[in-house]
């Protein structure tokens, strides 16, 4: 999640990451590190948010974003439905 997040922030965008429901416990550690780094650099920690949840949470996110980066298995990637 860090690669796309760094690209988004350096391009002047905020970043919302929806993590797998199986990694929710560790994502909060990364979120904390990024928030502290943003604050130390004089930026709002709200520029980076982590969302956890199942498929419904992912569907809700992809219907409201301008850019989507998917990182995961091809099997799960084929389940991602994007409608513009």
Q: Give the separation between CA 8 and CA 13, rounded to whole angstroms.
A: 5
Q: Is residue 53 part of a domain?
A: yes
pLDDT tens, N- to C-terminus, the chain (84 residues): 788 889 989 999 999 888 888 877 888 899 999 999 999 999 999 999 998 888 888 888 877 877 777 777 888 777 776 655
Q: What is the pLDDT of residue 27?
A: 87
Q: Is residue 82 part of a domain?
A: no
Q: Is residue 34 part of a domain?
A: yes
Please name which of 28, 29, 34 lies closest in space to residue 3, comparing C-alpha atoms.
34
CA angle 43–45–61, rounded 5-degree value: 125
Q: Is residue 29 part of a domain?
A: yes
Q: Is residue 37 part of a domain?
A: yes
Q: Is residue 83 part of a domain?
A: no
Q: What is the pLDDT of residue 77?
A: 75
Q: Is residue 6 part of a domain?
A: yes
Q: Is residue 63 part of a domain?
A: yes
What's the domain count of the chain? 1
Q: 66: which 2 tokens?
A: 């301008």
Expressed as residue numbers, the domain containing 21 is: 2-77
């Amino acid at each position: 999640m860090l690669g796309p997040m760094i690209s988004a922030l350096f391009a002047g965008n905020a970043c919302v990451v929806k993590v797998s429901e199986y990694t929710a416990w560790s994502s909060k550690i990364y979120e904390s590190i990024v928030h502290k780094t943003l604050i130390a650099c004089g930026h709002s920690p709200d520029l980076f948010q982590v969302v956890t949840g199942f498929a419904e949470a992912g569907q809700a996110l992809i219907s409201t974003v301008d850019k989507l980066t998917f990182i995961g298995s091809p099997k799960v990637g084929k389940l991602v439905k994007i409608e513009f």
